[in-house]
Structure formats: structure tokens, C-alpha cells
């Protein structure tokens, strides 16, 4: 009888609790350790600590875990300022002081970029920072109605879980938006079908609060009026289908100001805007300073959105071409240029990750380029940017890993990294945005 050898399946570590000695931290301020032949990434753990952590992922070369008990704490560890910090998934770094958060984030990103690019040192500039409380002007509030217990939970998703953590307040949410928790807890149980409302998108535009309710079944006019009466200062909208939004009151156009540039930008409630108004203003002002725009410059603004950078650039440049992939935002960009009396803005729609079309804007006519891509970075676009041979490129990034990849291409294409700085757009989280200026050799 032939016996065929079969290797025994390896025992998975998934769900087990192990003890780790944390040696260092990565660019997201996760603790790094070793377990047998694998690298371990441990959230909630700091360099120098010994912790017990539950295994969430077990892959061939690495494992991911989350801290459940600190056996030997770091001197950097502090008591979280928010009493929801241990369970809410919104803020990951409240066990650190705000300065320690910023230091560790920048140190991890510095190591990541140097490793990817081969640079021995980075020309760091002062980080852009602001208040770490009440800074969010937009948030998605989760809603869960337990039919058996007839109880509603309003808050954010639990760390590492889909369950909603019921909260009464959020320390990083703008004070203008604070009533949302009380209002939803009060009104949702009064609906005919409380489970029909699944989440709320809250937005501060200027000094006006907007609330968009996502509901899977129609809400009657009387039910809509319950929400309006509970918070009459807010503008209420309904989203019965994804991206199909209806005002429950007379339309009010959301907008925000770039006060230093005296610009008003209008936008749709579901359009992208930066989450932190104060730091957005600082980024725009720094972009103008770093690019040193003059009246002869022809500037290309990629991933232009509604014109957040475009309009400010146009105030100083000869011409600015704003390229954006979403057609509705391209139309809004053109409208915003007109509203602000800027006739030197040219708006185009294009998928920048695909091969660029042969068109009037895809020509080597630019002295300077600004790009502000999404988390995927400028994959596909970065190669095409270098073919235009602009003298200066300003890269605004919301993902350090994809920035490092794109920066490597710029360096290999004859550009030098002149300046880089962190932007602490999301205080108390592992996220750090970047601004980097490259010049052609």
C-alpha cells in the first residue's frame, strides 16, 4: 500500500494571546516585535514596553495583534484624555501625549521614506499643527437599533470590530456638531422603523451644521420634522440611495472660506473637503510660500477637487490648469473660479491614473506642478508628470507609503527633495499627512 506524505497544517495563532517585547514602532506608531521567525505589528504598544496582545492576523511572514494588557509601560505612556479611547476606533494614539504622537509619527515616516528612497537624511521643516480638540468639521456617525432590546446606539465603530460604541460626546468633533448625539438618541426611537436609519454624516460648513441621514426605508414628512424640530439650527438632508441626497428644508449651499486668500469655496455635501479647516488654511498658505508663485507661472494642479489649492494659486499665477477625475467636482471648480472672479483657471476632467490624453493641458508648458492625490497616491500619473519637466513639484500626500513610492520615482527622474513637513490633520490618530517640495536638477 502506497503511503503519500502530507505535511501537517501549521497551527494558526489567530485569536491567541501572546506576550511581546516591543523593540520599535512603524510609521503608523504600531509596536514592532518578533515572534519566532515572524515580525509582529502590535497596535497600542510603544517601544520599550512588554505587553500581552491578541493575534488578529497570522500570515506567512508577519502577524498583527492588538494590545490587551500592558505589563511594562513606557515612560511615554499617558492616561487617555477621552474616556472612550479604549473602545472607540476613532483615535488610536491617545495613550501618548500630543507631542509624543507627532514625534513618533514623523520618526516612523522618516525611516520609511529613507528606506524606500535611499536618502540618508530628509530636509524636515516645522510640522503644521493646530488644536488637538474640536478640530473635525466632518464625521460619519454610526447608528444601530437593537430590535430585541429596543435600544439605539449612536457613536463610532469599536476598535477592530463592527459594533457601534455608544458615546455621548466626541472630544475631536467640532463643538458646533456636538448636538448630533443627543438628537439622534432622542428621535430615532420615535420612528416607525428605527432600524431604517443606518448612519448620519455631520458637516460644518462655515458656521452652519449639515446632517445627512442615510435611511434604507422612506421617512415620512412628519418623521423628518421630528429631526428638524430637535435641532432647528442644522440643515437636514436624506440619503435614501447612495449619493442620492435630498434637502428636507430649503437648499442652503455649503461653503467654506480661505480667509487669508479671501476666497469662498462652495461644494456639495458629499464632496471631499479637508477634515480640519485650520490646517487646511495653513497648507494652502504654505503651498503658496513653497512654490513662490509669480505672474509668469503656468501651474498644473492635479487632483484639484473643488479648487482648494487651484484658486489660491490662480491669484498669483498667469494660468492654472485644474485637473480632476470626478466630473461634478470639475464643474464645481469652474463655478468656484467664476464666483471668485478668477478668469485664469482652466478646469478639465481626466482619470489621472490612466494614460493621459493628447490634449491642450497635457503639454510641457508648466513651470510648477501641485498634486494632492488620494491614498493610492499618484500611481500612473507620477511618470507622466515627470515627462512634462516642470521646474518644481509640490506633493501633498495623505499616505506616507504611496508617497515614498512616488518620491523614489521623482528622485530617479532627476528631481531633488528640497523640503518636507508633516501635517497633523488628524490629531490622536496614526495618520500624518505630508507636504514635500521637489525641484529639477
Residue with cell 467664476: 338
- Give CA–CA dist 310/223, Å, rounded: 41
Q: What is the pLDDT of residue 396?
A: 98
Q: What is the pLDDT of residue 10?
A: 64
pTM for the full model?
A: 0.94
Count of CB atoms within 10 A of residue 428's CB? Answer: 24
HSE-CB at 303 with a 13 A cutoff on CA atoms is 22
Name the catalytic one among 91, 170, 398, 421.
Answer: 398
- Give CA–CA dist 60/429, Å, rounded: 28
Span 57-114, pLDDT tens digits: 999 889 999 999 999 999 999 999 998 998 888 899 999 999 999 999 999 999 999 9
CB contact at 8 A, 159 and 175 = no
Cell, residue 411: 528622485
Annotated active-site residue 398? The verdict is yes
- Give CA–CA dist 322/301, Å, rounded: 5
**241/133: higher pLDDT:** 133
Cell, residue 378: 499618484
3-state secondary structure of 382: helix
Sign of CA dihedral 216, 219, 223, 227: positive
Span 105-162, pLDDT tens digits: 999 999 999 999 999 999 999 999 999 999 999 999 999 999 888 899 999 988 767 7
Give the whole-number percent of the chain exceeding pLDDT 90: 90
Burial class from Cβ neighbours inside 10 Å (0-12, 13-18, 19+) for residue 338 reads: exposed
Q: What is the DSSP string of 280-329?
A: HHHHHHHHHHHHT--TT-EEEEES-TTTTTHHHHHTTSSEEEEEES-HHH
Amino acid at each position: 500500500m502506497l503511503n503519500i506524505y502530507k505535511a501537517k497544517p501549521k497551527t494558526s495563532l489567530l485569536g491567541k494571546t501572546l506576550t511581546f517585547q516591543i523593540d520599535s514602532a512603524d510609521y503608523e506608531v504600531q509596536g514592532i516585535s518578533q515572534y519566532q521567525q515572524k515580525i509582529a505589528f502590535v497596535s497600542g504598544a510603544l517601544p520599550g514596553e512588554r505587553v500581552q496582545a491578541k493575534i488578529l492576523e497570522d500570515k506567512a511572514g508577519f502577524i498583527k495583534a492588538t494590545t490587551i494588557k500592558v505589563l511594562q509601560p513606557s515612560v511615554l505612556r499617558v492616561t487617555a484624555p477621552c474616556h472612550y479611547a479604549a473602545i472607540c476606533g476613532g483615535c488610536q494614539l491617545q495613550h501618548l501625549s500630543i507631542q509624543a504622537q507627532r514625534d513618533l509619527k514623523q520618526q516612523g515616516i522618516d525611516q520609511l521614506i529613507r528606506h524606500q528612497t535611499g536618502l540618508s537624511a530628509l530636509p524636515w521643516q516645522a510640522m503644521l499643527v493646530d488644536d488637538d480638540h474640536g478640530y473635525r468639521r466632518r464625521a460619519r456617525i454610526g447608528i444601530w437599533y437593537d430590535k430585541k432590546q429596543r435600544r439605539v446606539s449612536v457613536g463610532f465603530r469599536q476598535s477592530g470590530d463592527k459594533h457601534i460604541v455608544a458615546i455621548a460626546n466626541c472630544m475631536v468633533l467640532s463643538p458646533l456638531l456636538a448636538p448630533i448625539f443627543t438628537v439622534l438618541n432622542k428621535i430615532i426611537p420615535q420612528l416607525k422603523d428605527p432600524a431604517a436609519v443606518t448612519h448620519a454624516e455631520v458637516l460644518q460648513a462655515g458656521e452652519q451644521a449639515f446632517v445627512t441621514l442615510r435611511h434604507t426605508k422612506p421617512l415620512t414628512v412628519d418623521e423628518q420634522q421630528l429631526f428638524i424640530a430637535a435641532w432647528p439650527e442644522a440643515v437636514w438632508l436624506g440619503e435614501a440611495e447612495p449619493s442620492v441626497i435630498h434637502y428636507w428644508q430649503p437648499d442652503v449651499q455649503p461653503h467654506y472660506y480661505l480667509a487669508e486668500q479671501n476666497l469662498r469655496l462652495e461644494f456639495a455635501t458629499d464632496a471631499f473637503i479637508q477634515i480640519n479647516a485650520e490646517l487646511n488654511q495653513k497648507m494652502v498658505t504654505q503651498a503658496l510660500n513653497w512654490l513662490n508663485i509669480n505672474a509668469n507661472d503656468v501651474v498644473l494642479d492635479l487632483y484639484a477637487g473643488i479648487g482648494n489649492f487651484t484658486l489660491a494659486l490662480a491669484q498669483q499665477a498667469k494660468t492654472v490648469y485644474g485637473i480632476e477625475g470626478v466630473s461634478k467636482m470639475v464643474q464645481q471648480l469652474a463655478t468656484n473660479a467664476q464666483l471668485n472672479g478668477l478668469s485664469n483657471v482652466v478646469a478639465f476632467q481626466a482619470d489621472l491614473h490612466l494614460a493621459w490624453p493628447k490634449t491642450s493641458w497635457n503639454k510641457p508648458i508648466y513651470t510648477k506642478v501641485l498634486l494632492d492625490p488620494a491614498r493610492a497616491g499618484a500611481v500612473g500619473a507620477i511618470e507622466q508628470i515627470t515627462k512634462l519637466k516642470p521646474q518644481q513639484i509640490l506633493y501633498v500626500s495623505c499616505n506616507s507609503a504611496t508617497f515614498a513610492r512616488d518620491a523614489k520615482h521623482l528622485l530617479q527622474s532627476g528631481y531633488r527633495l528640497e523640503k518636507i513637513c508633516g501635517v497633523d490633520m488628524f490629531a490622536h490618530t496614526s495618520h500624518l499627512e505630508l507636504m514635500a517640495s521637489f525641484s529639477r536638477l
